[in-house]
Structure 1
Amino acid sequence: MTAYAELRAQLDTLATEAHRPELADIDRLSTLDIARTMNAEDATVPAAVAARLPQIAVAIDAIAPRMTRGGRLIHAGAGTAGRIGVLDASECPPTFNTDPAQVIGLIAGGPSAMLKAVEGAEDSKELAAADLAALALTADDTVIGISASGRTPYAIGAVEYARTRGALTVGLSCNPGSALAAAAEHGIEVVTGPELLTGSTRLKAGTAQKLVLNLISTITMIRLGKTYGNLMVDLRASNEKLRARSRRIVALATGAPDAEIETALTATGGEVKNAILVILAGVDAPTAAELLSTSQGHLRAALAAKSATTT
């Protein structure tokens, strides 16, 4: 069997690559009917993710304590999967005030692959190992290999290398019985089925990957104390919109008047969490910073600690 024939045989076994004969005439439908068909397909994705929530929760509960100890969360994938991983990582600093080195997205072929495919990059386990070696992995790090097919060498190679360094590993794929899930400690297989366009896994599979990474990064950050209730109290106000959002979040958390909010934000250098603590605990900015440091950044714990000292 030639290499081409072997690859074709492998693709024939993947649910994400299956052909949908019933959609063979989709190009003859009206634009509205195509949109309705595609939207109906997309609506099946949340249920596929829901079926894997127990596995996702177990993975998060393993990731969070490692990150509390200073570990990093690293997404690794090729093509669409890699781009989704980079997107999730890039959104963490402005949303949760994380250091850019705390959540990292690796894409096969490097940053240029975000805009243009790098031929052959996804086929190299060695490239994944080299990319991770440059980060000097530790046992507190987590590597999430992402691949719709679950057979992409770059994603599998990332997980395999991470395991040799003692890092926690998660394999996120969209096919059952995948090599990626088997290679990782935590296999998450969100089975989204055949795509509207045969093999175009940027569709349902890509949406599923985005939803799962949203779950993992967001809930992990909640566990790290980056939120207060459902308020993003650790956001980084890097532009005018975010500065306005900062004031609104402090107002929602405290009910304080605008003048008091502005004073607290100015005193704390614009740090939302600190400003809330200044207002609710009645402390100055240095004391708020000390309380949060002692509480590992958890606002509820800092408020409880202050309350305990005054009762």
Structure 2
Amino acid sequence: MRNMERNRGHIATEQRHPNTTGLDALTTSECVELLAVDHRDAITAVQNASESIAVLVDEVVNRTGRLIYIGCGTSGRLGVLDAAECPPTFQADSGKVIGIIAGGDASLRTSSEAKEDVFEGAHEELNKLELNDQDVVLGITAGGTTPWVHGGLSLAKSKGAFTALLTCAEVPCACDHVIHLDTGPEPLTGSTRLKAGTATKLTLNIITTTYFTKIGKVYGNYMVDLKATNDKLMDRGIRIIEALCNISRDEARALLIDSHKDVKAAIVMHHKSVTREEALDLINDAGGHLTQLL
């Protein structure tokens, strides 16, 4: 019977790392240090891809639709994680950044590697989203060859969405844009949850942080679109208001409570001497950008 599996030995993430061939013989301290040092390559890879990452962010900013991550295994989990962190960090709508993983939410805890070989595997979930030309779909696959991801990108492209691939391998892709993170071989051969995963997580953090900064969710380096829903966020909100309004902590707390714990509204209420409702109207008129109001 003819073998059906593809030889992926030429892909960098599948190759043997020349500096870690004796990994199993190291002491615990030596192993920890080696793995930590090797992860420096993840930072370098992301820095080298910064212009390519910026192109993707500009596409998301310039479109009115959604940013949709699709991936399998570690790549899929990282996409779901980044999407889940956007609402509490930026008070973003949960439908603005969406993470889809092969096998569904169950795959966040239990691996389902076989799913990634199905080219049409992502189609059902993507069709539910009714993709259009204002959406951006980012396929995430460290090794670059995952059929589930490429199939999803193919469908998204046919629907008019802007499509991109985030990968740590040099591979062909029939999409609109490729972000290549050149992390090289893994210290544990083929284990892309290591520095490839680290570089991927960092890149996703950068994409969404830059995106939400560009659309007014950030003022200076403060996350001003913050809803104080617990003690930690209440404290953070108070300190942001203190700094941006130059008032005491007690005054900032009272202002935050009057704004229904909406930091951005509280700041505008103080600077414009308006009610909460008036502040919200001003914020809306400014497209959410405090820079236009302060």
Q: TM-score range by the shorter chain?
A: over 0.9
Match of 2:2 in 1: 2
Match of 1:222 in 2: 213
Give the alignment partner of residue 240 of structure 2, picking from 220, 237, 249.
249
Distance 1:238 1:154, change over 3 A: farther
Determine the C-alpha separation between the residues in 1 that align with 2:292 and 2:62: 17
**Deviation (angstroms), 1:253:** 1.7
Determine the C-alpha separation between the residues in 2 that align with 1:134 and 1:87: 20
Give the alignment partner of residue 87 of structure 1, picking from 81, 85, 94.
81
Q: Which runs of 5+ in 2 are unaligned?
A: none
Determine the C-alpha separation between the residues in 1 that align with 2:233 and 2:266: 15
Query: Normalized against structure 2, the TM-score is what?
Result: 0.96
Give the alignment partner of residue 105 of structure 1, picking from 87, 99, 124.
99
Query: Does the 8 A contact of 2:153 with 2:175 survive in 1?
Result: yes
Query: Does the 8 A contact of 1:94 with 1:237 survive in 2?
Result: no
Give the alignment partner of residue 266 of structure 1, picking from 248, 257, 263.
257
Q: Secondary structure at the match of 1:170?
A: strand
Give the residue type in structure 1 aligned to 2:196: A
Query: Does the 8 A contact of 2:14 with 2:189 survive in 1?
Result: yes
Match of 1:165 in 2: 159
Query: Does the 8 A contact of 2:59 with 2:136 survive in 1?
Result: no
Determine the C-alpha separation between the residues in 2 that align with 1:3 and 1:64: 45
**Deviation (angstroms), 1:144:** 0.7
Q: Give CA deviations for 1:223-259 in whole Å, capped at 9, x if unaligned.
A: 1100001000012322221121111111122221123
Determine the C-alpha separation between the residues in 1 that align with 2:147 and 2:227: 36
CA RMSD between the two structures: 1.4
**Deviation (angstroms), 1:21:** 4.8
**Deviation (angstroms), 1:131:** 1.1
Give the alignment partner of residue 26 of structure 1, picking from 23, 28, 38.
23
Runs of 4+ in 1 over 4 A off after TM superposition: none
Equivalences, count:
294
Give the residue type in structure 2 aligned to 1:259: D
Determine the C-alpha separation between the residues in 2 that align with 1:172 and 1:3: 29
Match of 2:34 in 1: 37
Q: Give CA deviations for 1:123-169 in whole Å, capped at 9, x if unaligned.
A: 12212111100111122111110000111111111211111111111
Query: Does the 8 A contact of 2:72 with 2:113 survive in 1?
Result: no
Q: Which runs of 5+ in 1 are unaligned?
A: 304-311
Relative to total residues, which structure has the larger helix share, 1 or 2? 1
Q: Secondary structure at the match of 1:145?
A: strand
Give the residue type in structure 2 aligned to 1:128: A
Give the residue type in structure 1 aligned to 2:127: A
Match of 1:52 in 2: 49
Query: Does the 8 A contact of 1:75 with 1:104 survive in 2?
Result: yes
Match of 2:277 in 1: 286
**Structural mapping, 1:62-81, within 5 Å:** 62-66=59-63, 69=64, 71-81=65-75
Q: Give CA deviations for 1:269-291 in whole Å, capped at 9, x if unaligned.
A: 11111111111222221221111
**Deviation (angstroms), 1:22:** 4.2
Identity %: 41
